Amino acid sequence: MGLTEGHQAKTVWENPAEIVRSLKPENPVMVFAPTVLQDRARAFLAGFPGLVTYAVKSNPDEAVIQNLVQAGIRGFDVASPFEIDLIGRLAPMAARHYHNPVRSRAEIAHAVGAGIKAWSVDSRTELDKLFEQVPPENCEISPRFKLPVLGAAYDFGSKFGATPELAADLLRAVHDRGYIASLTFHPGTQCTDPHAWEQYIRTAAEIAGMAGVQPRRLNVGGGFPSWRVHGVEPDLASIFELIGRTTAEAFGGNAPELVCEPGRGICADAFAIITRVKAVRDGQSVFLNDGVYGGMNELPVIGNLDRIEVLTPEGKLRGENAHGRVVFGPTCDSVDRLPGEISLPDNIQEGDYVVFHGAGAYSVVTNTRFNGFGELRQLTVMGFD
């Protein structure tokens, strides 16, 4: 029974090639490897010198949340009433950090009702709203600060984050009102330069000095890189080590407890997207059945995923010789093009499959139905080899 039964009954596949071979899917498929996800979560839990929380927005799929709980994740970064309630339902014992620094009064009321005890803030006006609505007992507020962007593929600082001077004022105000005073930052997503964390942590110690307040915790954000580019697997262990060492150096004996909130770094490598070649137009540009309105929404902003395999409908790998091609998605909108050129095998053909590895972050959740496309199915695999 089980794996040897007919394809319809099958729920777990060996790898993407088996899905291609047996189903020849006409629509794009998001392929999920729970074992890879759990391994990533355990690498963070074992290596990061503090509490690991998962940034729900990067992939809020229920199977993802459930596997993370199974792997031992006990905290989540949530940004909306929907995410607060999702985690309340799927992981009722877990900590929820409401780290979207701008909230309506109705959203604050919802979060208070749901029992939220950790908040971030980056302005005086938003802090005053929290003071009005959030009881201080056993409740943590973390001013979020920013530095000019360093090392990340995509800067979050243009939207959120106080200057260090303002963060010091906010930290002092939080402390004086009787809340637990902590600090937080986010170095920007896909941050491949570990020294970004180093500079942020040293600045956090300066903010504490300016405020005359020792933060209880320091949340070093997300931004941990996933494996997007061929051949270079990011070295998380050395980032963890640098974060721990810099915190001890910068704060001395009074070091705050550390927290991190990775999204991409945990979920991205646990997924691949299987797309199909609709056309190779006059031997040149390649049209796929998924693109920037689908599971590859963030590629124009942070760059191509180049861990790609091209498979024949029989699941065989296409040849080694490759050259750069312009790649379009299926919609009639000229924005629907992957950035630059992508190296694809010379003998790629209509009906082949292009598998993009490392596609689990900001993909399932940003898929649209624009132009009637976006029928994105999710299937489970044992692994990717």
Ligand X SMILES: *Cc1c(COP(=O)(O)O)cnc(C)c1O
**Interface with ligand X (CB under 6 A):** 55, 57-58, 77, 99, 186, 189, 221-224, 261-265, 361
CB of 151 to ligand X, least distance (A): 12
> Which has the closest alpha carbon to 271: 344, 353, 364?
364
Which CB sits closer to ligand X, 157 or 265?
A: 265
Which CB sits closer to ligand X, 223 or 374?
A: 223
CB of 350 to ligand X, least distance (A): 35
Closest residue to ligand X, based on beta-carbon distance: 222
Q: Is 139 a catalytic residue?
A: no
Q: In this structure, are residues 318 and 352 in contact, taking their beta carbons and an 8 Å threshold?
A: yes
Q: Which of 139, 191, 260, 332 is catalytic?
A: 332
CB of 29 to ligand X, least distance (A): 23
Which CB sits closer to ligand X, 232 or 335?
A: 232
Which CB sits closer to ligand X, 21 or 99?
A: 99
CB of 316 to ligand X, least distance (A): 34
Positions marked active-site: 332
